Amino acid sequence: MECYNLISCDPLSYPDKTNLCSESRHPLEGKVVKFQGKIYTLTYVGLDACVCLENLPQKIVATTEQLCTPTYEIFNYYNCETLKERRFGFVGITAPAVFKKTGDCECWSLKGEPEEYVADELVSSIDSYTRCLDCIADVNAQNCPDAERTIGYATKISLPDAPPPDRGFSKCCYANVVLADTTDNDPYKNDFTGAWFQRELPNSTCTFKLVDVATTTEYFLNTATYGTFYDFGNAANPNLTYYIVDWRLVLSLLGAGAYQIKKELTIAGIAIDVFSDTYNLKPFSIDAADQTARIDSYMDGKLIKYDVDFKDTGYKTSMRLRGFFGRAEYSFEQDNIAKRDYSYMQNTMSSKREYKFQGLQIPECITDELWNFILFGNELYISDYNKNNHSYKYELMPVKLEGNAGTEFFVTDRGVNVNLTFSDRTENDRKINC
């Protein structure tokens, strides 16, 4: 478990909260956060570095100023007429029960502290009231409805989701293995992993880093040293950036071990760190790869859910799963011509192969990417590495997804067995009799 402390920004008023645990790294670690009306610094202690007293609270939120002693207070207000809500930060003034900005025509009534401690707007000059009726009467006296108005537009942004709550039922023990061979550049023996970010605002930033989990050493991913870097500003999609980690280069330069891909994001002025799952890098061997299968996904289209267009960007990623690929099942189709003497002559003959893919005891963090991203690739290639397989020819096979043969869920753990069916992408096993 990942261990954290919430360090009090006002220890004389409220104490630290220590020995808090989370299943994964929190995107707000190292940031000043607010929880239950109190301000703390979320400090990362380390992996299994404490005795867990309680789980890290899920409702901690980032603060606008990232200061232990903020220069303004933030409160949630609703419009006295339309009831729409907005978060205001009051600079140098006390938050009133009802107010309107000086020279403005909208009245706002106090609702309370917001769940998300980030201001939509800062105000420093206001007219205060005790009731909405008093404010509205003042607005009507100013003849605001006939005044000149302008239309403003806001850009909706999305922040990364916080990790889901730990409900006390641990997921199965799963090693997310990646393999590479420093003496052979055969793609079958060398895995790769992609990480991407699509900005919604032109001033959003993203810095990719590779983190050595054991030493916490960070390596910048902004050159070809460890893989392929695609920066903002490219013609295909100027708002997309990505890095494809070539684990063969990592193994050659840094060695085997546990690594994470870290995205240091700045979105609308808010700094957030997002960590990938941990990848356990090992040298390729038949024994190390046994009982696994790998899917390579080449993305070249627009994903509506994420509002990101990969067309002509060259993005790809791979996923190695504990599982199996193979068991080709042949189906045949023959077209015959009937003669006058009731005999038949073969006209065409074709066959089709359908393959079984099974992922065993896969946790939700893996199935989420598999079902919602990997399988959406324009081109899919599957390789099998099992010693016990009828054929050893399943290397980088171009396939197309046929369907889901049913997911097996269990009552004793959270892992699932994934069952998918694939067929050859090119169906040319065919004979024609002219």
Of the listed ranges 7-11, 155-159, 253-257, the one predicted with least confidence: 155-159
User: What pLDDT does 195 receive?
Assistant: 96
- When pLDDT is averaged across residues 99-128 and rounded to a whole number, the result is 84
Q: Are the beta carbons of 299 and 378 closer than 8 angstroms?
A: yes
Q: Which two tokens stand for residue 292?
A: 């696994």
User: What pLDDT does 50 receive?
Assistant: 86
- In a domain, residue 294? The reply is no
- In a domain, residue 153? The reply is no
Nearest to 268 by CA among 174, 201, 221, 345: 201
| Segments forming the whole domain that contains residue 50 | 2-62
Average per-residue pLDDT for the chain: 88
82: CB partners within 8 A, 6+ apart: none
Do 125 and 222 lie in a common domain?
no
Q: How far apart are alpha carbons 434 and 347 in whole angstroms? A: 7
Do 271 and 343 lie in a common domain?
no
CA separation (Å) from 393 to 28, 186, 389, 418?
A: 46, 14, 10, 22
CATH number of domain containing 194: 2.60.40
- In a domain, residue 159? The reply is no
- In a domain, residue 157? The reply is no
- In a domain, residue 340? The reply is yes
Q: Are the beta carbons of 19 and 3 closer than 8 angstroms?
A: yes
Do 326 and 400 lie in a common domain?
yes
Q: Could you tell me which residue, 241 or 413, shows the higher pLDDT?
A: 241
Do 266 and 375 lie in a common domain?
no
User: What pLDDT does 117 receive?
Assistant: 66
Q: Does residue 172 surpass a pLDDT of 60?
A: no
Q: Which two tokens stand for residue 279?
A: 């990848």
Of the listed ranges 110-119, 184-193, 359-368, 400-409, the one predicted with least confidence: 110-119
- In a domain, residue 49? The reply is yes
Q: Are the beta carbons of 229 and 206 closer than 8 angstroms?
A: no
274: CB partners within 8 A, 6+ apart: 27, 160, 262, 263, 265
Q: Does residue 122 surpass a pLDDT of 60?
A: yes
Do 262 and 188 lie in a common domain?
yes
Q: Does residue 38 surpass a pLDDT of 80?
A: yes
172: CB partners within 8 A, 6+ apart: 361, 363, 413, 414, 415
Q: How far apart are alpha carbons 116 and 34 in whole angstroms? A: 9
Pairing of strands 205-212, 257-267: antiparallel
pTM for the full model? 0.64
Which residues are registered as beta bridge partners of 222?
none
- In a domain, residue 94? The reply is yes
Q: Which two tokens stand for residue 310?
A: 């990969």
Q: Are the beta carbons of 349 and 430 closer than 8 angstroms?
A: yes
* CA 252 to chain CA centroid, nearest Å: 28
- When pLDDT is averaged across residues 230-244 and rounded to a whole number, the result is 95
Do 124 and 221 lie in a common domain?
no
Q: How far apart are alpha carbons 125 and 107 in whole angstroms? A: 14
Identify the helix (H) or strand (E) that includes residue 134: helix 132-141
Do 139 and 227 lie in a common domain?
no
User: What pLDDT does 316 receive?
Assistant: 97
Q: Residue 52, exposed/middle/buried by CB under 10 A (0-12, 13-18, 19+)?
A: middle
Pairing of strands 270-275, 302-303: unpaired
Do 266 and 213 lie in a common domain?
yes
Do 10 and 118 lie in a common domain?
no
CATH number of domain containing 370: 2.40.30
Residue that has been written with the tokens 């709550």 in this structure = 165
Do 184 and 266 lie in a common domain?
yes
Identify the helix (H) or strand (E) that includes residue 423: strand 416-424
Chosen domain end from 128, 146, 164: 146
User: What pLDDT does 147 receive?
Assistant: 45
Do 57 and 82 lie in a common domain?
no
Do 35 and 76 lie in a common domain?
no
Task: Assign 124 to helix, strand or coil.
Answer: coil
Length of the chain: 434
Task: Assign 252 to helix, strand or coil.
Answer: helix
Q: Are the beta carbons of 195 and 263 closer than 8 angstroms?
A: yes
Number of domains in the chain: 4
Q: Are the beta carbons of 347 and 309 closer than 8 angstroms?
A: no
Q: Residue 379, exposed/middle/buried by CB under 10 A (0-12, 13-18, 19+)?
A: middle
What are residue 298's phi and psi, to 5 degrees? -110, 115
- In a domain, residue 152? The reply is no
* CA 258 to chain CA centroid, nearest Å: 20
Q: Could you tell me which residue, 81 or 170, shows the higher pLDDT?
A: 81
Q: Give residue 276's identity as a one-letter amino acid code.
A: S
The percentage of the chain sitting over the pLDDT mark of 90, rounded to a whole number, equals 50
